[in-house]
Amino acid sequence: MQSWPAAAFPDLAGDACASPLRLYDSSTQAAVEVAVVGPTARLYVCGITPYDATHLGHAATYLAFDTLVRVWRDRGLAVDYVQNVTDIDDPLLERATRDGQDWREVAARETALFREDMTALRVLPPTHFVGAVEAMEEITAFVVGLLDAGAAYRLAGPHGDDVYLAVGTAAHFGQVGGLDPRTMLALSAERGGDPDRPGKKDPLDALLWLAARPGEPSWPSPLGPGRPGWHVECAAIAVNRLGNAFDVQGGGSDLLFPHHEMSAAHAEVATGTWPFARAYVHAGMIGLDGEKMSKSRGNLVFVSRLRAAGVDPGALRLALLSSHYRTDREWTDAVLLAGQERLARWRAGVARERGPSGDALVSAVRAALADDLDTPRALRLVDAWCEASGQDTGAPAECAALVDRLLGIALSTDPFIGPS
């Protein structure tokens, strides 16, 4: 699947590795040093289900991991970044049915819109942008391997045999989220699982393959016609491109359980190795009027609609980066206005002939981002630089390069990328 064009990544002098990179790992509930082994960092971030793209919750998550990619690249690392697209799933089919459209048309349209939004927001593209449909053969082979290993079982139903992972075969099941069984059961029921289905060996066993249902898309396979479960898609796509023990598994905090827990269990029993990822990093939720943005609540704010209304994506990016990526926070008109005003101040700051030390600013921002991607502190540092005076004639250009390279914001006054 095609991703989107990469924005420029300007050069920047100085020691980018002066501070070790530390990220909050959800599996240990502590900040850990993320020391990449070798010249390439490996990252997997769970992608969209393309029925409503791109809302601000999506944008905040992908900006968080774009910041991580930029920090790694600033340190001289290559980044092998995989992002999936869940282009076959119940919410997509429900949206297509509601709108009287072919599910493939909905998926293609929303994925294209997502690409446009990521381009406008200057999010660096993943190395591999992989749809579940195009990966169907490898996902099917992954499920067959779990059956052959005795880690999965068939469960007869009215439409044929479904296939489930026996979570008890994963020795480390439960260690990603650290949740008790009662909480896992509740979240499984809330987030797409079927813990009450009769015949399962364990209520938490995860669906690997859904036998074809009347009127729904399906694919031929050694398992019989059907389609894959959600968790196994990411497990197969990640393992086949990154292997196990890759550096960071990322996504929104609502994916910690069951999705990331289950994907890790799938990978463990398929490969016989642990861990799936060395750190699990999660972005907080964006709320509106006191509630998380979600399709079910109908309170989504879309990047494309803000762009169509004339909002500069740089201001939108600043608005979302103004809170720490791990925090749940509210989206308000005041947050957007603050981003717009900050962008104007920064553009005025770098338009000066001279300013305070550029080298000092670069070092301080790098240190802030090394501390669990502390973008609010980084933004305040640039604010302070723009408000202060100095005699460094190279500082304005250095500040502009810093903001572009590490925060993804072009401070030129060239027209921004609007909706197509």
Per-residue confidence (pLDDT) for residue 208, from 0 to 100? 98
- Say if CB 395 and CB 357 are below 8 A apart: yes
pLDDT band at 419 (very low <50, low <70, confident <90, very high): very low
Which residue has 């190395």 as its token pair? 127
pLDDT tens-digit profile of 291-342? 776 666 677 899 999 999 999 999 999 999 999 999 999 999 999 999 999 9
Give the pLDDT mean for 62-75.
98
Share of the chain above pLDDT 70, in %: 96
What gap in Å lies between CA 349 and CA 328, rounded to an integer? 31
Bridge partners, 206 (sequence order): 165
What gap in Å lies between CA 108 and CA 419, rounded to an integer? 17
Closest CA relative to residue 55, chosen from 385, 342, 288, 217: 288
Q: How far is CA 103 from the centre of its chain?
A: 23
Mean pLDDT score of the chain? 95
Per-residue confidence (pLDDT) for residue 312, from 0 to 100? 97
Helix (H, G, I), strand (E, B) or coil at 151: coil
What gap in Å lies between CA 4 and CA 2, rounded to an integer? 7
What gap in Å lies between CA 66 and CA 287, rounded to an integer? 21
Per-residue confidence (pLDDT) for residue 417, from 0 to 100? 42
Count CB-CB contacts under 10 A for residue 17. 13
pLDDT tens-digit profile of 232-254? 999 999 999 999 999 999 999 99
pLDDT tens-digit profile of 141-199? 999 999 999 999 999 999 999 999 999 999 999 999 999 999 999 999 999 999 999 99
Per-residue confidence (pLDDT) for residue 418, from 0 to 100? 44
Which residue has 């169509």 as its token pair? 308
Q: How many residues does the chain have?
A: 420
Per-residue confidence (pLDDT) for residue 402, from 0 to 100? 98
- Say if CB 128 and CB 236 are below 8 A apart: no
Query: 28-32, 264-268, 287-291, 395-399: which has the minimum mean pLDDT?
Result: 287-291
pLDDT band at 414 (very low <50, low <70, confident <90, very high): very low
Query: DSSP assignment of 64-92, as one string?
Result: HHHHHHHHHHHTT-EEEEEEEE--SSHHH
Per-residue confidence (pLDDT) for residue 223, from 0 to 100? 96
